[in-house]
Each structure stands twice: as structure tokens, then as C-alpha cells.
Amino acid sequence: MTAEQGFASIRPVVHEPNETAVSMYRRSGYTPIGAITHPLRKAPYLCCEKILEAGG
């Protein structure tokens, strides 16, 4: 997925207690933008976003 293909951003969702994954996304340039809940899970899912740049 790239900006050249018409994508402006990537928005993965990660289970907030998964500290390894949350840390990996932050190190990779993703910004937390909110959280969602699931009726069968106690902890929320963290929504992250990374803005894509054309040519990169």
C-alpha cells in the first residue's frame, strides 16, 4: 500500500495490552488516534495511524 496507489494513510488496530505490538507501531511512526472496545474483551483496542507520503 502506497500513496502512489491512492492511499493517504494506514490505520492498524492493536489490542492495547499487547505492549510489544504497541511499541513496534510507535517506533515505526504510527500515532495513536483513539481506541475502540469489543464486547468480549476487557481491554480496548488502540487505533493507530501513519500518514503516507508520495514517493516514500
Cell of 54: 508520495
pLDDT in tens, 20-47: 999 999 999 999 999 999 999 899 999 9
The full set of domain ranges for the chain reads 3-51
pLDDT of residue 53: 83
C-alpha to C-alpha distance for 9 and 31, rounded to whole angstroms:
11
pLDDT of residue 52: 92
pLDDT of residue 25: 98
Q: How confident is the model at residue 3 (pLDDT cuts 50, 70, 90)?
A: confident
Average per-residue pLDDT for the chain: 91
Selected residue with higher pLDDT from 15 and 55: 15
CA R_g for the chain: 13
